[in-house]
């Protein structure tokens, strides 16, 4: 068994999880993608193996070759982010190595010949700990701390990429709509805690005071039809990264939170102190939004005076 860590990289998001496994030893990045991605990896890790993708061939076509390279190196830990093509490789490595595969992993530490894996479970309500013999495959959650760069970029070594699966991209159509949400620096978002459409004016006034765009949770667009569908945030809607996200009467379902992972400051206004949104928020007010929202609008106006 090797002593090192392999990181599967098919997307820059994979490099963002690096700090969670850097404590274990030297990290080898197995990059499947273009030269730019390989160069990005070379500035973050000790060694880079690179499978270059051909035009119109998705990274998933190279999974078998990638898994073979990773398994042959017998690493102790094989890791990636939730990026789809990276997970595809991870599943193939786990099968080859008869290794366990754990998702939502926040940390891995050495434990003699094995490892201790910590992951979030029950929608973030608990941290679960596992003691496992290596090798282990882990899908890591994003880390906010920046990965340290290496003093000298690693040499990028071409990895064998034979046996490409028969898959080809036949079309790519931009779908990011002109909702303006994607570029908004500040977003105020409406959830089902707002009781009636007539009350939206109050939220829009808050958005005006913050110079923010207005978004919503999925049911507010889908079921209530108060906003067009390109205005809801979450895994099935818009994934946004504003500097400020104010969730008004939103419970914080995991599918919603997926859309605001990149937000810098998340504010929650909710009457339920146990609402999941408070676990994802930086700050918040526990209270009735019908009192808090007008008070906040007034406080912003006062602060700008």
Partner 1 sequence: MTTAAAYTWSRDPGSAHVSADGTVTWPAAKLTPGEDDHAALAVAVAIGGSEGVVGVTLGAGDASWALARKATRAIVVSDAPLGDDDAATGAVLAAAARRAGADDVVVVGDSEAHPGVAPAVAGHLGWPIMLGVTSAQRIDGRVHVTRQVAGVEETVAITPPVVLGVTAVSVERSAPGMKEMLAARKRPVEKVTVAELGLEQRAALHPTTTRCPEATRARIFDGDPDRAAADLVAFLRSEGVA
Ligand X SMILES: Cc1cc2nc3c(=O)[nH]c(=O)nc-3n(C[C@H](O)[C@H](O)[C@H](O)COP(=O)(O)OP(=O)(O)OC[C@H]3O[C@@H](n4cnc5c(N)ncnc54)[C@H](O)[C@@H]3O)c2cc1C
C-beta of residue 65 within 8 angstroms of C-beta of residue 162: yes
**Distance from C-alpha of 81 to C-alpha of 142, rounded to nearest angstrom:** 7
Q: How does DSSP classify residue 43? A: T
- Pick the closest to residue 248 from 292, 303, 185 (CA basis): 292
Smallest separation (angstroms) from ligand X to the CB of 65: 33
C-beta neighbour count of 270 within 10 angstroms: 26
Looking at 27-35, 44-52, 190-198, 258-266, which segment touches partner 1 (CB under 8 A)?
A: 258-266
Give the count of residues interacting with ligand X (CB under 6 A).
Answer: 27
Instruction: List binders of ligand X among 242-281 (CB under 6 A).
Output: 249-251, 253, 255-256, 259, 270-272, 275
- Pick the closest to residue 231 from 180, 282, 159, 270 (CA basis): 180
Binding mask 266-305 for partner 1 (x = CB under 8 A): -xx----x----xx-xxxxxxxx--xx--xx-xxx-xx--
User: Residue 291 binds what, of ligand X, partner 1, none (CB under 5 to 8 Å, by partner type)?
Assistant: partner 1
Binding mask 30-59 for partner 1 (x = CB under 8 A): ----------------------------x-
Smallest separation (angstroms) from ligand X to the CB of 221: 9
Pick the closer one to partner 1 by CB: 152 or 304: 304
Looking at 22-30, 88-96, 125-133, 286-294, which segment touches ligand X (CB under 6 A)?
A: 286-294
- Pick the closest to residue 179 from 211, 224, 219, 216 (CA basis): 216
C-beta of residue 9 within 8 angstroms of C-beta of residue 30: yes
Query: Binding ligand X by CB under 6 A: which of 43, 192, 261, 279?
Result: 192
Looking at 17-25, 125-133, 154-162, 190-198, which segment touches partner 1 (CB under 8 A)?
A: 125-133
Biggest distance spanned by C-alpha atoms of the chain: 67
Smallest separation (angstroms) from partner 1 to the CB of 100: 4
Torsion angle of the four alpha carbons 39, 40, 42, 48, in this order, in degrees rounded to the nearest 10: -80
Main-chain dihedrals φ then ψ at residue 59, nearest 5 degrees: -55, -30
**Distance from C-alpha of 227 to C-alpha of 246, rounded to nearest angstrom:** 17
Give the residues lining the site for ligand X (CB under 6 A): 191-193, 217-220, 232-237, 249-251, 253, 255-256, 259, 270-272, 275, 288-290
């Amino acid at each position: 068994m090797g002593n090192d860590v392999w990181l599967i990289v098919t997307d820059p998001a994979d490099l963002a999880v690096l700090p969670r496994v850097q404590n274990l030893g030297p990290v080898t990045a197995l990059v499947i993608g273009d030269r730019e991605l390989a160069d990005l990896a070379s500035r973050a890790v000790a060694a880079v193996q690179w499978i270059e993708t051909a035009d119109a061939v998705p990274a998933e076509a190279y999974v078998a070759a990638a898994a073979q390279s990773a398994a042959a190196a017998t690493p102790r830990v094989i890791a990636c982010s939730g990026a789809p093509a990276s997970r595809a490789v991870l599943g193939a490595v786990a099968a080859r190595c008869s290794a366990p595969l754990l998702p939502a992993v926040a940390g891995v530490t050495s434990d003699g010949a094995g490892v201790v894996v910590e992951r979030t479970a029950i929608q973030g309500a608990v941290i679960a700990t596992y003691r496992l013999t290596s090798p282990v495959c882990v899908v890591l959650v994003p880390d906010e701390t920046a990965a340290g760069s290496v003093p000298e970029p690693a040499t990028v070594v071409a990895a064998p990429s034979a046996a490409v699966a028969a898959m080809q991209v036949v079309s790519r159509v931009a779908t990011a709509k002109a909702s303006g949400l994607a570029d908004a620096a500040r977003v105020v978002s409406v959830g089902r805690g707002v009781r009636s459409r007539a009350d939206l004016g109050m939220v829009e006034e808050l958005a005006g005071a913050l110079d923010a765009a207005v978004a919503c949770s999925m049911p507010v667009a889908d079921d209530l039809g108060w906003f067009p569908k390109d205005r809801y945030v979450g895994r099935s809607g818009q994934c946004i990264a504003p500097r400020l996200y104010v969730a008004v009467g939103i419970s914080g379902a995991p599918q919603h939170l997926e859309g605001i992972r990149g937000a810098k400051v998340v504010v929650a206004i909710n009457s339920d102190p146990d609402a999941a949104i408070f676990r994802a928020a930086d700050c918040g007010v526990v209270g009735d939004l019908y009192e808090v929202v007008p008070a906040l609008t007034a406080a912003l106006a006062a602060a700008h005076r």
